Structure 1
């Protein structure tokens, strides 16, 4: 009997090492459970702050309606007509709402001009990420606060920063007032 007791005593090194390993595994499991619990709480808190889909869509409609009222030439003769929008809800491939506004642009020219603006809903705001405008004399491409204009007359491309273009006042584009007046540097103004 003393042989059996001595082989299974607490002072026996292999048993002490096993207990220490079991305690370490238990602590690791407790830490993993705590992290999982904390993550689920933070997800619930962030989900509680994000507006429901109807509010997100309504906020985008406000942007679209403000854009439809823009006048962006010096003589007030440039404006949008036939303004339409499309909102795409989040999916497995894209976790954010995305949206597009398309319109015909009325300018003092003989041919119809077209515009497309692309938005993403992130960080609880609609954000203008890019836009294109096509005229009879130039194609405008905007990405964030950058622009590139390709002129068909001289096959020349101009590019630059919107802040400088706004300061100079040389670009008659609907993207600029959308970026600065309707939005706050491309980000939705939330009241």
Structure 2
């Protein structure tokens, strides 16, 4: 079991750190903390009166301390909501990044497994040129990580063009009921959560 990410992956994370942190501040201002709901079959996320088209990156199992990519999740394989994760897998294959090509990443040996999950989402945001990422408590033992794929979200503050990751409605499946929403942060800062308390 590895206790850290590969050096090429960490290099990629550092490459996106400056613009990514600034972009997350912009995105968090655009999408204030609050109650949320999601319809993954329709690729829709609602929070604080806003509705966005999204893609599911993956989920972090807080009990097992593991990350499962949406492309590897039997409930989402091949569906429109997993397209961003599919794009990451293709990028990982091309660039030799096991973090994007391994179905399940065991993060328990990392010093801070939750921060490792945030790092995966942050780096994915950078690679795909997304305007931010959203981390939500989907159920008591799982966090879902989503990427906005909506022209209404603030454009990334960099010159590199955004990778196309479109999500079109395909089937009717819903995420967990409304719950807590967390503000996305760069991996070097602490996540802040708000919304309805969990039991």
Report the TM-score range of the alignment, normalised by the length of the smaller protein. under 0.3
TM-score norm. by structure 2 comes to 0.24
TM-score norm. by structure 1 comes to 0.24
Ranked by relative contact order (alpha carbons within 8 Å, sequence separation 6 or more), the top structure is 2
Larger strand proportion of the pair: 1
Larger Rg: 1 or 2?
1
Larger helix proportion of the pair: 1
